[in-house]
């Protein structure tokens, strides 16, 4: 009985010493990856609290307002645009993976089969909208005025042989309207949530050279915190690399 009490006291002391870390994430694959590293972090004295979000705005807002410690859902171009438009000072702590962006259709088997005036939907945030248009350009569907403009909008389309009609919608809604349009350009986290397989279902997909590495993000004044650095190290571990490769089969690619 005495040994049990000593063990319980030791466990309680260890728990009291554990530092908590709250991290916002989108459900797939970000929260799944965080759940994978959670046990290892607990052994390293960090209690990881994962908050799942369905949008791309609140995770940054809540970190900036110090309601959460960090987030894991976005790439650097999106973060740069968010900081610029919102006046925030969020920074990258570590790069983790790339989610190759894809174009999907439930009506057509190839981009060549897109009809004249096809209805095409893309994300309505500046960086992912531009990313979608760059993919359409790479696939030969359109040409942009500036072929390298990552912030291109539909107004920047210079050549449009099939006269496709491009609409901008919130990224999270795109899988839900897939059967209502000819083509939807969908972020991989939302494609995976919708049970789409990017490597099999996408009619066009970014290559492994994509610059859109998903990053762990925090405030500039807290990025060097011990618990946060432990999380960054865990996310860049050999174990996470193996987990990503096995679970996502090329739909998510390690970037470290």
- What is the pLDDT, as a whole number, of residue 208? 65
User: How sure is the predictor about 17, in pLDDT bands with cuts at 50, 70 and 90?
Assistant: low
For the four alpha carbons of 160, 117, 129 and 35, in that order, the dihedral sign comes to negative
- What is the pLDDT, as a whole number, of residue 54? 95
The answer on pLDDT for 8 being more than 80 is: no
Mean pLDDT of the chain: 93
The answer on pLDDT for 198 being more than 90 is: yes
The answer on pLDDT for 2 being more than 80 is: no
The answer on pLDDT for 6 being more than 70 is: no
User: How sure is the predictor about 207, in pLDDT bands with cuts at 50, 70 and 90?
Assistant: confident
What pTM does this model have?
0.85
Burial letters for 66-98: b for 16+ Cβ neighbours within 10 Å, e otherwise? eebbbbbbbbbbbbbbbeeeeebebbbbbbbbb
The model's pLDDT over 151-185, given as tens digits with 9 standing for 90+, comes to 999 999 999 999 999 999 999 999 999 999 999 99
The answer on pLDDT for 247 being more than 80 is: yes
For the four alpha carbons of 201, 204, 207 and 212, in that order, the dihedral sign comes to negative
Question: Which residue would you say has higher pLDDT here, 12 or 96?
Answer: 96
């Amino acid at each position: 009985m005495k040994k049990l009490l000593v063990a319980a006291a030791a466990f309680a002391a260890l728990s009291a010493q554990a530092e908590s870390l709250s991290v916002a994430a989108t459900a797939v694959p970000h929260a799944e990856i965080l759940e994978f590293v959670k046990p290892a972090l607990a052994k390293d004295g960090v209690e990881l609290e994962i908050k799942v979000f369905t949008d791309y705005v609140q995770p940054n807002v809540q970190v900036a307002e110090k309601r959460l410690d960090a987030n894991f859902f976005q790439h650097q171009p999106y973060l740069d645009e968010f900081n610029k438009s919102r006046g925030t000072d969020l920074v990258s702590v570590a790069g983790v993976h790339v989610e190759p962006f894809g174009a999907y259709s439930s009506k057509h088997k190839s981009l060549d089969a897109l009809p004249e005036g096809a209805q095409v939907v893309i994300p309505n945030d500046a960086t992912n909208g531009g990313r979608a248009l760059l993919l359409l350009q790479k696939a030969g569907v359109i040409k942009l005025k500036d072929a390298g403009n990552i912030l291109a909008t539909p107004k920047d389309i210079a050549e449009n042989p099939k006269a496709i009609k491009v609409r901008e919608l919130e990224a999270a809604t795109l899988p839900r309207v897939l059967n209502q349009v000819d083509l939807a350009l969908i972020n991989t986290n939302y494609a995976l949530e919708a049970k789409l397989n990017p490597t099999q279902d996408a009619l066009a997909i970014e290559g492994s050279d994509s610059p859109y590495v998903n990053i762990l993000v925090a405030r500039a004044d807290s990025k060097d915190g011990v618990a946060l650095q432990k999380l960054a190290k865990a996310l860049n571990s050999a174990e996470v690399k193996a987990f990503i490769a096995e679970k996502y089969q090329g739909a998510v690619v390690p970037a470290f």
